[in-house]
Structure formats: structure tokens, C-alpha cells
Structure 1
């Protein structure tokens, strides 16, 4: 596969949140900004400076690191990657010693009930592992509302979920499929709710189910 055809890493967060949202954005190329996505963009803009490397004692902070995994066929950008001096780890150009790689992802708001942020961060770690030929046991999510870092352990279960989600994404992408809408509580915060129109889609499914039941009843009456 041509690297130009790789899926965007950020899409895994959309897909884990709602497969239809992901398909509308990444398959049908639809997007709409709302206050939540705008404030999140401002936070990322403050973190994104590809020429910025800050030294804090035994920690190097690098921003906007390009990511790619040829195994997963996915690419993207890491908000922040910290390199911690360690007895073992990776070599860094123009730096002495060895360094442990730690991805950091910035999010607005606070920790969510689902795992969409965790799978995105884990996917970043998998890319970094492939790029640096190393192992990354954990990373951090930084939430703007609480101004607090939450550690994420990249265990086997989370890694398998990342791989499974990407396989599902490719299955939809390669076949040009957009899942049907399903009205949920999380739709209220979705930036593309007006493009998705889950209320109409869900109402249509209810009508279709009602018509199916009526037709089945009618068919049953004719045969008895």
C-alpha cells in the first residue's frame, strides 16, 4: 500500500467515540467546528511547535512529532513526546546517553467515561515503538479542565483493541461504508451532529421496524 493511502491516526479517537462520526469525517470528508473542537484546537496549537525542544534536567520535551506505523498503515502527529534519561533506551541525535520515550496527548475537558483517548495515545506509542525500535510501557493524557496528567498503561488488552479498531476502520474505508446513525447521549457533544442528523435517522429506523412488523403481521394473517 502506498503511504499516501494510510489512515490518519487521529481518526482512531473518532472511531472509538462513534464509527459513524469517523466515517462521515474520513470516508465522506465532512467536518464541522463547534465550541468543543475549537477550544481543543487552541490547546493543540499551544502544544504544536515542530521546532521546539525544551530541556528540563534529565527530560527533553519535543512537540509535534510526525508519527507513522507501516505495520498498522497509519500516520499522524504526537502532541508532545518526552524523552527521559535512562540507563537503557534509545539514542537521540546530538544527545548523549540513552532515553526513554514517553508520549503525551493533550485533551480539553476531563477524563472521559469511554476509552477513545486511551486508544489514540496507545496508537501513538505503537508508532513510536516502531520508529525508535523500542518498547513504551506507558504514556500520559493531559486534560485542560483538570490540568492534570493521567497515566495510561499500554497493556496487551489496550494494544489489541487498537489493532482491532484499525482493522475495522480499514474495512469501512476500503469499501466506502458509512454506518447508520444511532441516537445516543454522546450525540449532544458531537461537532457533526447536524450533518449526521441522528434523530431523523433513528426515527426512520423506528418507522422501518414498525412497517416491517405490520407487514409481517399482515403476511401471517393471509397464511392463516
Structure 2
């Protein structure tokens, strides 16, 4: 049986953003990161522009806090790589800040993505990163996220599961759920149609029935 590659290998690193996709929907994650499928809608386009504006900003210092934008991240321990929207340095302690176009969600995908950034920063700078922040464009508010034991455990679990799925290159089967309505890949994924595809036997029976109804020449 093929084993997943060593997570410390450079070519085995998975994007930090993949964890957010995986927690939202493993199939969505696989379509994006295994099958390289991407469909942009209004929401994803707006989100992309938000990230471009933030990542493209210059470093600055205000009130003793130095902010670095578009910082490249990497963790060989957890097999992750990516880029932070912004990292605020309070002295030598980094604090990741992730910008989202929408509003706070009823799941922890955004928190896991932010915590994954913190794990990378801890490995890169050798200091504990205890908290970060999520800024949502709709509410125009920053939400403090504490990287406690529960969130760290969930993040490490998602990193391992996501890395394993991508390494094996197997896309999970579709499963229709309410969240599919908010997914830009809904049309490509076709969960309602593909979750319970018609059987070959039923198709053959329908074809035989159609043929028997044809008039003889």
C-alpha cells in the first residue's frame, strides 16, 4: 500500500488555506488541491481582491507594533506552507491577522486556518504564539482568537487528515448538505445529482422499455 510522503519533505507541504477548505468540506478541498478545479463567483472574487490589497501593503509600525504583510509561512513539523495576510509583531512575538470578506461563520474553519498560521510562526520564530485575530469585512470588526489546547488539537488533526487525503490523491464522494448552496464549486461538484447516481441496471431497464414501445417497421 502506498504510504503518504514524509510531512517534513518540501514537496509534501500542503497550503494552510487547504485546512480551511477541508474543515468546510473535504470534497471541496480535494477538488481544489487534488483535481485543480476552481470556479470563481462574486464572493470568491471579492475575497481574492481583499487578500490582494492586504498582502500588497507595505510593512508599517504604529504604536510600537510592527506589521508585516504577505509573510511566507512554513512548518516542516506539520507539513504546512502558505502566506499570512498580516503578522503583527508585539516586540518579538508575532500575532497573525487574517482578513475575510464576509461575516463570522458557525464553524471553526477560519479559526483553524489562523491557528495553522500560528503553528508555522512558532516554528519559524521559536516563540509561543498565543493569539491571533480574524477581521470580517461585513461586520468591520476584529475578533480575537485564542490558540488554546482544543483549537490546536483540531488544527493538528485537520492538517494530518488533509495532508493524507492530498497525498493519496483520492477525492471523497459527494454529499449534499445545506452548505453546498454557498460553495462556488457546487455546479462542478453536483452533490445532489451525483450523491445517488442512477444505477446501470435501472438505466438498462429504461432503455429496454423505450425500445419495446417503438412501433415495428
Class of the TM-score when normalised by the shorter of the 2 chains: 0.7 to 0.9
2:81 equivalent among 70, 75, 91: 75
Alignment size in residue pairs: 193
Find the counterpart in structure 2 of residue 31 from structure 1: 38
Find the counterpart in structure 1 of residue 162 from structure 2: 169
User: Structure 2 CA distance, aligned partners of 1:80 and 1:43?
Assistant: 12
User: Structure 1 CA distance, aligned partners of 2:130 and 2:167?
Assistant: 32
Find the counterpart in structure 2 of residue 186 from structure 1: 179
In the alignment, structure 2 segments of 5+ residues that lack a partner are: 1-5, 203-217
Deviation at 1:172, TM superposition (A): 1.4
Find the counterpart in structure 2 of residue 113 from structure 1: 106
User: Structure 1 CA distance, aligned partners of 2:99 and 2:163?
Assistant: 26
2:69 equivalent among 63, 66, 89: 63
Find the counterpart in structure 2 of residue 91 from structure 1: none
User: Structure 2 CA distance, aligned partners of 1:73 and 1:102?
Assistant: 20
TM superposition score normalised by structure 1: 0.83
Alignment of 1:1-224 (within 5 A): 1=6, 2-49=9-56, 52-85=58-91, 99-204=92-197
The alignment yields a C-alpha RMSD, in angstroms, of 1.4
Find runs of 4+ consecutive structure 1 residues off by over 2 angstroms: none
User: Structure 2 CA distance, aligned partners of 1:62 and 1:171?
Assistant: 32
User: Structure 2 CA distance, aligned partners of 1:102 and 1:173?
Assistant: 29
User: Structure 1 CA distance, aligned partners of 2:142 and 2:63?
Assistant: 19
Deviation at 1:100, TM superposition (A): 2.1
Deviation at 1:194, TM superposition (A): 1.1
In the alignment, structure 1 segments of 5+ residues that lack a partner are: 86-98, 212-224
User: Structure 1 CA distance, aligned partners of 2:10 and 2:168?
Assistant: 18
TM superposition score normalised by structure 2: 0.85
Is this contact kept in 1: 2:79–2:163, CA < 8 A? no
The secondary structure found in structure 2 opposite 1:77 is strand
